[in-house]
Amino acid sequence: MKNFVLMMLTLMLASCTGSVQHPEFENNVKLGQKFFQLHGEENFEAMVDMLSDDLQWTSPKYGEGMINKETQLGYIKMYQDLYDNINFEANYWLPGVDTLSLQNDGSIRVYGSWTGVHTETGNEFNLGSYHTMAFQDGKIIGGGDWFDLTGFVQESTKPAMTE
């Protein structure tokens, strides 16, 4: 029994040790920041170059699930066509973890807010969001967007009230 208790204590202490930051985390945060900056600049071609051809992205559109590079680029282009002054203000850049090992894997997570203006209505928006990005060979290979897409589109596109 004494050996069992010692073994369990050792395992508990070993599992509580702080994890070391993944060596690519800081570089990947810079890549994520650059990707969002390019979105605000509406530099579509540079954004295309940052995405892997094998991209797998979780869409914020209800029920759509996982999408590929072509579909994600269609959404990016749509946002850039419909909105001006797009800007992302990050609250937190956090390391991502492998879901099996629970170890830092170099992916990133970010909480923040998007702001901008709908080009047709002139309605300003401020949209809280959560994003993830995974990287391979310096390109974004996976990730996703989590925000209220339906509410965002409805609010930003509704006609201005007239008196």
Tens digits of residue pLDDT in 19-53? 578 889 999 999 999 999 999 999 999 999 999 99
Question: Does some domain include residue 134?
Answer: yes
Residue 161: CB atoms within 10 A of its CB come to 5
Greater pLDDT, 119 or 161: 119
**Domain count of the chain?**
1
In a domain, 58, yes or no: yes
**pLDDT exceeds 70 at position 163:** no
Q: Which domain holds residue 83?
A: 22-157
Domain contains 41: yes
pTM as predicted: 0.83
The helix (H) or strand (E) run that includes residue 71 is helix 69-82
Give SS3 for 46: helix
- Report how far residue 151's alpha carbon sits from residue 65's, in angstroms, rounded to the nearest whole number: 18
Per the structure block, which two tokens stand in for 63?
């029920």
> Looking at the domain assignment, is residue 93 inside a domain?
yes
